[in-house]
Amino acid sequence: MYPSFGNLAPRDISSRAAKRLVDKGQGVGPKKNGVYLDFADAINRLGRDVVEERYGNLFEMYERIAGENPYEQPMRIYPASHYTMGGLWVDYELMTNIPGLYAAGEANFSDHGANRLGASALMQGLSDGYFVLPYTIGNYLAPMLNKSIPGTDHPEFKAAEEAARLRFNGYLSTGGTKSPDHFHRELGKIIWDYCGMERTQEGLTKALSDLPALYEEFKTDLCVTGNGESMNQTLEKAGRVDDFFQLGMLMCRDALDREESCGGHFRSEYQTEEGEALRDDENYCHVSAYQWGGDPMKPNLNVEKLEFEEVHLATRSYK
């Protein structure tokens, strides 16, 4: 779509291009659910040795899975969700709203904003780790020098520990029939179908109708084998899926409320004639910072306006 930009085309553009081809029935492979990633030109231009040095591990992994040599045949690929744009709210020094708890790298709400280029995930971890945290954590720790630190017998610690214990005992005692993996798959399908690469008001409304019902089933029909006294991966998975439910409901709620397209958030109703994202800076030039209010379907929204001093806010265009 944008040949002059090569690999610098943002991942949302590349992903939607692949999805649209498959949706149009032009996919490749036995199930017609992929597109080709062809390295032939790169091998001819750079030589196989250079490509192998850069992508050798990836090519070996692909050949083990697909049984095809990617140096000789185009790879069959399709987008998959694997990280969330956004994260924990942090202040200027990368501290969360829990004093003393810092979130660095892509665990916080991200220098990348609503999108990022492929293969640039390490940027935020490096910048936070090298240029921010070494100069901010000390500000919090310095006043504590030579002072006693609360131990695990502190009432606040005991209360938090007991709350966590009750939560995990709840998973164990549900006595249902369906595994955490079952609910993970069902949840993932809803999010992928309705809050994935392209979103619509109708689809997001459907997701916000289906998710609470599935979450209620998770709480009443979950089956976790084993016990909580030793390492239990099924129990751990149950806790993660519970978190995924709450994150999924939050994502769908925010995607429905944000009536524009911006970066990786692409609402089909809001696009230009050329298929580019149609932003609404007048109403949505802000960070949506949600605060837990006890109900995953009713988070409290805090709006933080974005201010631009050194750069000019402009619309992305690759034409």
The token pair that represents 237 in the structure block: 């998975």
- Where residue 202 sits, what CATH number does that domain have? 1.20.58.100
The verdict on 294 and 181 lying in the same domain is yes
The verdict on 54 and 92 lying in the same domain is no
Q: What are phi and psi of 174, to 5 degrees?
A: -60, -45
The verdict on 184 and 294 lying in the same domain is yes
Residue-level pLDDT at 312: 87
Determine the residue type at 174. T
Residue-level pLDDT at 164: 95
Residue 125 counted as domain residue: yes
Distance, in Å, from the CA atom of 270 to the CA atom of 32, rounded to the nearest integer, reads 28
Q: How many alpha carbons fall within 13 Å on the CB side of residue 236?
A: 5
The verdict on 138 and 231 lying in the same domain is no
Domain total for the chain?
A: 3
The verdict on 44 and 98 lying in the same domain is no
Q: Report yes or no: 248 and 190 within 8 Å, Cβ to Cβ.
A: yes
Distance, in Å, from the CA atom of 263 to the CA atom of 13, rounded to the nearest integer, reads 9
Q: Which residues contact 170 (CB under 8 A, 6 or more apart)?
A: none
Q: Report yes or no: 132 and 111 within 8 Å, Cβ to Cβ.
A: no
Residue 312 counted as domain residue: no
Q: Report yes or no: 288 and 303 within 8 Å, Cβ to Cβ.
A: yes
Angle formed by the axes of helices 201-221 and 233-257, nearest 10°? 150
Q: What is the pLDDT of residues 86-106, one digit of tens each?
A: 889 999 999 999 999 999 998
Residue-level pLDDT at 50: 96
Q: What are phi and psi of 253, to 5 degrees?
A: -60, -45
Residue-level pLDDT at 65: 95
Residue-level pLDDT at 6: 61
* Domain finish residue from 124, 142, 160: 142
* Domain finish residue from 59, 77, 95: 77
Q: Looking at residue 149, what DSSP letter applies?
A: P
Residue 205 counted as domain residue: yes
The token pair that represents 100 in the structure block: 């003393």
Q: Where in the sequence is the domain holding 289, given as residue range(s)? A: 175-305
Label residue 175 exposed, middle or buried (CB < 10 Å: 0-12, 13-18, 19+): exposed
Given a cut of 50, the residues of the chain with pLDDT beneath it are none
Q: Other CB atoms closer than 10 Å to residue 95's CB: what's the count?
A: 19
* Domain finish residue from 142, 164, 184: 142
Sheet strands (E) in 185-270: none
pTM for the predicted model, two decimal places: 0.88
The verdict on 124 and 212 lying in the same domain is no
Residue 156 counted as domain residue: no
Residue 310 counted as domain residue: no
